[in-house]
Structure 1
Amino acid sequence: MLVDDDPALSELLAMRLESHGFRVTLASSGHAALRQLANTAIDLVLTDLRMDNMDGLALNQKLQASYAGLPVIMMTAHGSIPDAVDAIQQGITAFITKPIDSDELLAAINKALPEQSTSHASEPDNFHGLYHQSASMRQLVQQIKAIAPSQANILIQGESGTGKEVTARAIHRASSHAQGPFIAINCGALPAHLLESELFGHKKGAFTGAIADKQGLIQSADQGTLLLDEIGDMPLDLQVKLLRVLQEKTVRPIGGHQEQTVNVRILSASHKNIAQAVSEGKFREDLYYRLNVVQLSLPSLKERVEDIPLLANLFLSQLSKTPKRLSPDAMTALLSYAWPGNIRQLHNVIEYCVAMTPGSHISEDSVLNALPAQDDRQAFIGLNDAKRQFERDYILKVLALCQNNVPQAAKLAQRNRSDFYKLMKKHDIQ
């Protein structure tokens, strides 16, 4: 994305970059850039320093807050040492003075972009098992690339079936612990006493049935990564012991007397709202802040509809021993469903279709038979319905902004009062 309030320079630079195979999106201001980024997958931002309302440094602060890891190159005709120092301190990838030297600019861009980022923006991507082509997932992957090399503990939040363990594995593979083990445990799948033994290990004779020493998973994950899935289900007394591991980097087995040092990256995941659990006294606040140094929020499948064809065909190739394809109507049925079970449910539906289709052509009926509730066929609505929904939401928003003052709302919406009343009546808004 090229951000500059000089349209002539923007067009010239865009032509230069496009001639070298880059796709360029133009924005005339920092505010325009932020609006476009909400709906556009961008690999790098090239921005002017001096702009009205929001300068390049202010834009960079917004980008770092919302799109961690997104490379930013700053350019200015007013280059100075203080500007360059400020830019580098704020995480700017490169600082280039005008007039722009094409070779210098291309060198800075190629240095800032990972090799795979120079591919066409609409092509699907795979980041350590995270297959995607949607803007929301591209932004998530950018965050992971930025935080994975650090030692920060990460809390992964998302609905059931959104791929929390796959995300954790991607973080592990991109981290400095990649050569170590990756171990996952579901904290809600075991009774409290068994979970404690699994995590911390025990000494022989520590309790009835402890007939030998057992190494805990925290020790087993030494030099690697431990994923605590469904961390919200961990009992409070075990939360105290886990907090000590995080603070002291040591672990003591049940029945043991010596602390053992461990170097393990802790990732945690939950479909529950852990912040709410803290407020309700069901989760320790001090542990929450230890685990939640960085939080990743996974989008639901209906929030990344663009990825459904990619994932469906991926599962098809993995599950079918012979080549099979989804008919256009079958794919439309997949796109029209709301997917309450997210990616896991999509996988199950494709598995059913493969099992029930002897030939190479998966029909719409096969998909519909695999979907449990037709009431959920509303994830992707038609254009006319989308227009009506947007119009109604827009009118409600304008009225709210004007505190239900209709003449003022009509003026803000750039409509005369009678037309605005007609729109309100059309959408049954009182």
Structure 2
Amino acid sequence: MTTHTALIVDDEPDIRELLDITLTRMGITTLLAPDITTAKSLLQGATVDLCLTDMNLPDGNGIELVQWIQQQSPNTPAAVITAYGSMDTAIEALKAGAFDFVSKPVELPRLRDLVNSALKLSEPASTHSIEGDEPGLLLGQSPEIKRLRNQTRKLARSQAPVFISGESGSGKELVARMVHLQGPRADGPFIAVNCGAIPSELMESEFFGHKKGSFTGATDNKDGLFRSANGGTLFLDEVADLPLAMQVKLLRAIQEKAVRPVGEPKEFAVDIRVLSATHKNLPELVQSGQFRQDLFYRINVIELMVPPLRARPDDIPLLAHHILTRIAKEYECAPAILTKEAIDRLKSYGFPGNVRELENILERAFTLCDADNIDADELQLGSTPKTPDQVEQAPKGEGVPLPEGELDLENYLETIERQAIERALEATRWNKTAAAKRLGISFRALRYKLKKLGME
């Protein structure tokens, strides 16, 4: 069994003793220092898996020690003990490179959680298969994507809140997932929530949970997203869409590391790391009063910028190959290959929808192409709109009768598509090649639709 060593730096003997007893009972060997000078001397003479330092010390402050550890031993996580309610100091420590912080008076359960998370960083690399979490969309050799990968690895070692900015479709949730998987919380849950998709009247219940009977429709107790993410990571996507009233409650939950479910008289402690993202300009929303400055200050301790796809065109061939291989595997078909002309067309395209748009373009081209190669024209990029004469000459539909009442268009069209495929298969005695020809689509497109509609 591996024995861990922790350095405790505090000038108050009572607190040093409390921390010493707590960590010793956890099976951790402790080194004690009353000031920065002694701490540096101990760090230079021993291998330390964690440093826990007070902020105010006789010969300096904890942030100075954190910065020194970052330079001398960057793999040693350092946590800071701050005065109660001093969030500004805690944020300053996190920006300086502190792993995490704990406030006085020190709550021992919170301290144990912090220590256990920090010690995981000194254990052998996790056996998690990151491949299963689709890291392929962070593939590439461009300077931009290499920098992003390095930043995610570095930030994974911290517990600081990270704000991920970038255009829609650029892969912000993927970056958040990579930060989670490469950090000490990898064994815990990763809960992603689109803040813009939750109705405002249900938001408090969704985030913090509710007690059975607390309101009409609350037929059971509900944990909520914060408690569901306990021990792991909560990713708040499109955080700019939160209404102001909810922003206040979210700020308190993040600062206090506790939530109160609707209808509950007491709070529940939560141990989570908060990552957030939006494609909107959050500083502008703060200036216009649409987003609270104090919440922005709290979630934007460290900002991570995801580059748009057009900024790294040389990565497109590798990304495209990965996406087409995945699509072929999913639909049990032979993978298609892009021609040189198709690759050149993709590299010159602006991709307003970024990687998500690339995926959609390739999936459409994959299902519609007849051969094993996808040519530039089959990508259907920048197709010329029809002239009024061409529209007028287009054959008129025979008119499909609509059902009575409110229409679910997506399900209605899916039903029509399903019926057409069934008729074509029956007419060709279930010969898929002949059915595809009868429907005027490629064999691959028919395979795709059978899979999509669950008709295999």
Normalising TM by the smaller chain, what interval? Answer: 0.5 to 0.7
Asked if the contact 2:211/2:222 (under 8 Å) is kept, the reply is yes
Shift of 1:127: 5.9
- In 2: Cα distance, 1:204 partner to 1:93 partner: 50
Asked if the contact 1:329/1:363 (under 8 Å) is kept, the reply is yes
What SS does structure 2 have at the residue aligned with 1:227? strand
- The residue number in structure 2 matching 1:293 is 301
Q: What whole-Å deviation, never above 9, does each CA across 1:197-255 have from its counterpart, x for those lacking one?
A: 11111112222211221110100000000100000001111111111111111010011
2:171 maps to 1:163 = yes
Displacement over 4 Å in runs of 4+: 87-90, 126-129, 370-374
The count of aligned residue pairs is: 259
- In 1: Cα distance, 2:234 partner to 2:171 partner: 16
Which residue identity lines up with residue 236 of structure 1 in the other structure? L
Shift of 1:92: 5.9
- The residue number in structure 2 matching 1:398 is none
- The residue number in structure 2 matching 1:91 is 71
- In 2: Cα distance, 1:323 partner to 1:351 partner: 11
Shift of 1:273: 1.0
Match among 144, 150, 157 for residue 152 of structure 2: 144
Match among 303, 306, 317 for residue 309 of structure 1: 317
2:393 maps to 1:366 = no
Asked if the contact 1:301/1:339 (under 8 Å) is kept, the reply is yes
2:207 maps to 1:195 = no
What SS does structure 2 have at the residue aligned with 1:159? coil
Which residue identity lines up with residue 347 of structure 1 in the other structure? E
Residues 91 and 372 of structure 1: CA distance in aligned 2, closer, same or farther (over 3 Å): farther
Could you list the runs of 5+ residues in structure 2 that have no partner in the other structure? Answer: 1-64, 75-124, 126-133, 386-456
Asked if the contact 2:193/2:237 (under 8 Å) is kept, the reply is yes
Asked if the contact 1:128/1:173 (under 8 Å) is kept, the reply is no
- The residue number in structure 1 matching 2:105 is none
What SS does structure 2 have at the residue aligned with 1:132? coil
Asked if the contact 2:136/2:319 (under 8 Å) is kept, the reply is no
Q: What whole-Å deviation, never above 9, does each CA across 1:240-293 have from its counterpart, x for those lacking one?
A: 111111111101001111100110010001001111111111111111111001
2:307 maps to 1:325 = no
Asked if the contact 1:352/1:370 (under 8 Å) is kept, the reply is no
What SS does structure 1 have at the residue aligned with 2:197? coil
Q: How does 1:234-313 map to 2 (within 5 A)?
A: 234-313=242-321
Q: How does 1:119-134 map to 2 (within 5 A)?
A: 130-134=138-142
Which residue identity lines up with residue 338 of structure 2 in the other structure? L
Which residue identity lines up with residue 188 of structure 1 in the other structure? G
Shift of 1:195: 2.2
- In 2: Cα distance, 1:303 partner to 1:177 partner: 31
Match among 187, 198, 213 for residue 179 of structure 1: 187
- In 2: Cα distance, 1:255 partner to 1:339 partner: 47
- In 2: Cα distance, 1:238 partner to 1:371 partner: 42
- In 2: Cα distance, 1:269 partner to 1:322 partner: 37
Could you list the runs of 5+ residues in structure 1 that have no partner in the other structure? Answer: 1-84, 95-114, 116-125, 375-430
- In 2: Cα distance, 1:129 partner to 1:344 partner: 9
Shift of 1:358: 2.7
What SS does structure 2 have at the residue aligned with 1:254? coil
Q: What whole-Å deviation, never above 9, does each CA across 1:349-401 have from its counterpart, x for those lacking one?
A: 0000110013211111101x255689xxxxxxxxxxxxxxxxxxxxxxxxxxx
Shift of 1:136: 0.7
Q: TM-score, normalised by structure 2?
A: 0.54
Q: What whole-Å deviation, never above 9, does each CA across 1:55-104 have from its counterpart, x for those lacking one?
A: xxxxxxxxxxxxxxxxxxxxxxxxxxxxxx9x96672679xxxxxxxxxx
Match among 198, 207, 215 for residue 215 of structure 2: 207
Residues 138 and 92 of structure 1: CA distance in aligned 2, closer, same or farther (over 3 Å): farther
- In 2: Cα distance, 1:192 partner to 1:200 partner: 13
Shift of 1:130: 2.3
Asked if the contact 2:188/2:233 (under 8 Å) is kept, the reply is yes
Residues 88 and 202 of structure 1: CA distance in aligned 2, closer, same or farther (over 3 Å): closer
Residues 359 and 235 of structure 1: CA distance in aligned 2, closer, same or farther (over 3 Å): same
Asked if the contact 2:189/2:230 (under 8 Å) is kept, the reply is yes
Q: What whole-Å deviation, never above 9, does each CA across 1:332-354 have from its counterpart, x for those lacking one?
A: 11111000010000000000011
CA RMSD of aligned residues (A): 2.4
- In 2: Cα distance, 1:363 partner to 1:128 partner: 23
- Aligned-residue sequence identity (percent) comes to 46
Match among 355, 367, 375 for residue 367 of structure 2: 355
Asked if the contact 1:353/1:370 (under 8 Å) is kept, the reply is no
Shift of 1:166: 0.5
- In 1: Cα distance, 2:266 partner to 2:174 partner: 35
Larger Rg: 2
What SS does structure 1 have at the residue aligned with 2:154? helix
- The residue number in structure 2 matching 1:46 is none
What SS does structure 2 have at the residue aligned with 1:199? helix
- In 2: Cα distance, 1:370 partner to 1:292 partner: 37
Residues 149 and 373 of structure 1: CA distance in aligned 2, closer, same or farther (over 3 Å): farther
2:352 maps to 1:340 = yes
Match among 230, 234, 238 for residue 238 of structure 2: 230
- In 2: Cα distance, 1:133 partner to 1:372 partner: 31
- In 2: Cα distance, 1:372 partner to 1:223 partner: 49
- The residue number in structure 2 matching 1:18 is none
- The residue number in structure 2 matching 1:384 is none
Asked if the contact 2:337/2:373 (under 8 Å) is kept, the reply is yes
Asked if the contact 2:192/2:235 (under 8 Å) is kept, the reply is yes
